[in-house]
Structure 1
Amino acid sequence: MKKTLLAAGLTALMGTTAMADGIGVSMALFDDNFLTVLRNGIQSQADSAGLKVQIEDAQNDVAKQLDQINNFIASGVDAIIVNPVDTSATQAMSDAAAAANIPLVYVNRQPINVDTLPDNQAFVASNEVESGTLETIQLCDNWAAEGKTEVNVYVMQGELSNQAAVQRTQDIHDVMGDGRCKVKINIIDEQTANWSRDQAQTLMTNWLSTGAAFDGVIANNDEMAIGAIQAMKAAGIDMATVQVGGVDATQDALAAMQAGELDVTVFQNAAAQGGGALDAATKLAKGEAVDQKVYVPFELVTPANVADYASKN
């Protein structure tokens, strides 16, 4: 049996001896608010522990990311951490690292081969079954509290190649269908905005141009929720008349919530995921066993507790 990895990101790394060649990190994209917090979590824990890390930006390019992994292998790193661009393309990454006998840890985005990872590979993230579920149930409760029994909503999806987007959208449908929602939800339209604030603003503007009556927007992440809010505000919609939900509890999202614009988000501890991935990579590089799946719990954030999260990201 494999040893239990302590709570992700919380295991002290201060006593770890820096390894000769360090750890290579490939991030899907630097230009993303949540992933920036994740990347900073890796860097800050590495700095505290005296570990050398080389963090690269894959710029949302699968081929570029695989090249980065191959370059890490060629340079003889002690371990590799990957935040995948496309979670359906991770088998080749696992195979390359396994062939070189270099430990690999996936962080935040679940690889397609998560159930068949080699012994020296692991996955650190939060369980996406919780994310969209917490978001949707709270929005349902909000609508019920307003006295509504049936609502019309728009759903904004993340990148369809990403497991988190698929699961968070499935969470919405699961809550709709299993009786946990106290109101009937009718989805007017469901489209991807690729995690992007700008794309979400454009998509919401297009939806608004149809003139369809709606009660809210359920977004797979905060960036898209904020984009939707910007479009609605530009159209003169009173944000008190609609419910908007997202996931991640980024600083911008918390500010939007405090301004009365965002109604629900779900805190995903990016720094803990980053620290947990570094911890797992360090242990694997030293030949220690870790759990292959490590989950950092999601936490519901509403206007009632938003102040508690202001300093967490």
Structure 2
Amino acid sequence: MRKLFATASIAALALSLAACGGSGAGGGTDEGAGSGGSDEQKTVGVAMPEQTLQRWINDGKAVREGLEEAGYKVELQYAGNDIPTQQEQIDQMITKGVDVLILASIDGAALSTQLDAAEAANIPVIAYDRLLTGNKNVDFYVTFDNFNVGVQQGTSLLTALGIVDADGKETGEKGPFNIELFAGSPDDNNAGFFFNGAMSVLKPHIDAGTLVVKSGQSEFGQVATQGWDQAKAQSRMDDLIAKSYQNDKIHGVLASNDALGRGAITAMQNGGYDAASMPPVTGQDAEIASVKMINEGLQYSTIFKDTRKLAAQSVQAAKDLLEGKSPEANDTETYDNGVVTVPSFLLESDVVTKDNYSSLLIDSGYYTQANVDKGSVD
């Protein structure tokens, strides 16, 4: 199972999911998801980290609906961003005898005991969006190209500042522009990929003096935000403004996700910035509250990672594993979890700005314009 080849196309994925929906374990045929062609309905355990961020609500909903449509029972749990709670939830899923686990971890290194228990019970494990680390018992990883997400974030900031044009070509703009950096949680393996991807395009301009990190805080350990916490980002930006920007302006903010971006924006609003003077702020996850801010000119960009694609790929991987097949991977080299290199399927993401949010988010049916106008999907 560790040696996987080929790239699954979206068309092939759609066809295979349609087939699964028509003849899955819940469809009353002998071609169930389990081994040996049993018609016993299989159960998939799904662990999500929390429901504070809209993206995880969307992910849980999309995964559950995709699995149920494919004919599986679903045990879906949210852990309130509490590691012991998530550990207990997964323990209970294993005890109940789920047939496969899809795990979006709070801390990728904190589930080793559960992974060992899953292995002992012959339950395959799919890491969902966040890599599970420090244990060999991870069968597959489904995520977006996280380094490229960071590249997209950094490039969108450079575009907003006029340092590169819409095609990514340098304009000759020398600045200098004052920027500050807000990275994700240090216990989230993805946070480093996002930050390193962004810095791969920002650091040359920092070294050249076109970009200036006035606070001097430019290392991941200095700018990481535990728990991706919006309030912590706001507090840190309050402190940065007080210490470094009493007599100067912030010209740009790299925020690794929308919650961090909103925290920085709130602090800047409290510091006297309005829509007209707000510097460009990046984000990630296309959370509806941030898309509203983009439409209003308060946030410059976000990264759209379509959870429907991520869910569909996870459903296909679960189906393959339950049928004794190796899920198709398009990356077998990048994601070393410290013990093994986990075969992975990487999806592509999109940069969302005020100019294209309608075509990417509204036309695709992800949100409605009414959702954007009120900043809520309720």
Same fold flag (TM > 0.5): yes
The residue aligned with 2:32 is none
Please give the alpha-carbon distance, in whole angstroms, between the structure 1 residues aligned to 2:207 and 2:291. Answer: 25
Partner of residue 56, structure 1: 77
2:200 corresponds in structure 1 to: 174
Aligned with 1:294: secondary structure? strand
Tell me whether 1:123 sits opposite 2:141 in the alignment: yes
Superposition deviation, residue 5 in structure 1: 6.9
- 2:366 is paired with a residue of what secondary structure? coil
Structure 1 distance, partners of 2:203, 2:239, is: 28
Question: Which of residues 312, 318, 322 in structure 2 aligns to 1:285?
Answer: 322
- For residues 190-241 of structure 1, the C-alpha deviation after alignment (integer angstroms, 9 at most, x for no partner) is 5333322232222222222225132121111011101211222232213443
Offset of 1:22 from its aligned partner? 0.8
Q: May I ask how many residue pairs the two structures share in their alignment?
A: 310
Name the structure 2 match of 1:257: 294
Query: How far did residue 285 of structure 1 move?
Result: 1.4
CA distance in 1, matches of 2:114, 2:178: 42
Aligned partner (choices 169, 186, 192) of residue 224 of structure 2: 192
- Measured in 2, the distance between the counterparts of 1:195 and 1:55 equals 22
User: Structure 2 CA distance, aligned partners of 1:176 and 1:225?
Assistant: 17
Task: Tell me if the contact between 1:143 and 1:183 (Cα under 8 Å) persists in the aligned partners.
Answer: no
* Residue in structure 1 matched with residue 151 of structure 2 by the alignment: 133
2:88 corresponds to: 67
Deviation at 1:149, TM superposition (A): 2.2
* 1:215 paired residue among 224, 228, 251: 251
Is the CA contact (8 Å cut-off) linking 1:269 and 1:296 kept in structure 2? no
Q: Is 244-253 or 210-219 further displaced after alignment?
A: 210-219
Q: Is the 8 A contact 1:140 1:183 kept in 2?
A: no
| Counterpart in the other structure of 1:304 | 355
- Ranges in structure 2 where 5+ consecutive residues have no aligned partner: 27-39, 165-172, 329-342, 368-378
Amino acid in structure 2 at the alignment position of 1:75 = K
1:197·1:227 contact (CA, 8 Å) conserved in 2? yes
Q: Return the match for 2:8 from 3, 6, 9.
A: 6
Higher mean C-alpha deviation, range 249-258 or range 85-94: 85-94
For 1:284, the aligned partner's letter is: L
Partner secondary structure for residue 217 of structure 1 = strand
Match of 2:50 among 25, 29, 45: 29
Structure with higher Rg: it is 2
Deviation at 1:244, TM superposition (A): 0.7
**Conservation of the 8 A alpha-carbon contact between 2:303 and 2:352:** yes
Higher RCO (CA-CA < 8 Å; seq separation 6+): 1
- Of Structure 1 and Structure 2, which has the larger fraction of its residues in strand? 1
Range moving further from structure 2, 88-97 or 210-219: 88-97
**How much identity, in percent, do the aligned residues show?**
23
Distance 2:25 2:5 in 1: 20
Question: So what's the TM-score if we normalise by structure 2?
Answer: 0.74
| Structure-2 separation of matches of 1:180 and 1:153 | 9
CA shift digits 1:37-75 (9 cap, x unpaired)? 111111221232332101112222223322222221221
Aligned residue type for 2:324: G
Q: Which residue of 2 aligns with 1:294?
A: 345
Give the distance between the partners of 1:35 and 1:142, measured in 2 at CA. Answer: 28
Q: Aligned in 2, Cα 1:4/1:180: closer, same or farther, shift over 3 Å?
A: farther
Q: Could you list the per-position Cα deviations for residues 69-106 of structure 1 after superposition, in whole angstroms to 9, with x for gaps in the alignment?
A: 22212211111110011122344433221121111111
TM-score (norm 1): 0.89
Q: Is the 8 A contact 1:21 1:76 kept in 2?
A: no
CA contact (8 A) 2:108 2:189 kept: yes
Question: 1:32, 1:107 → 2: CA distance?
Answer: 16
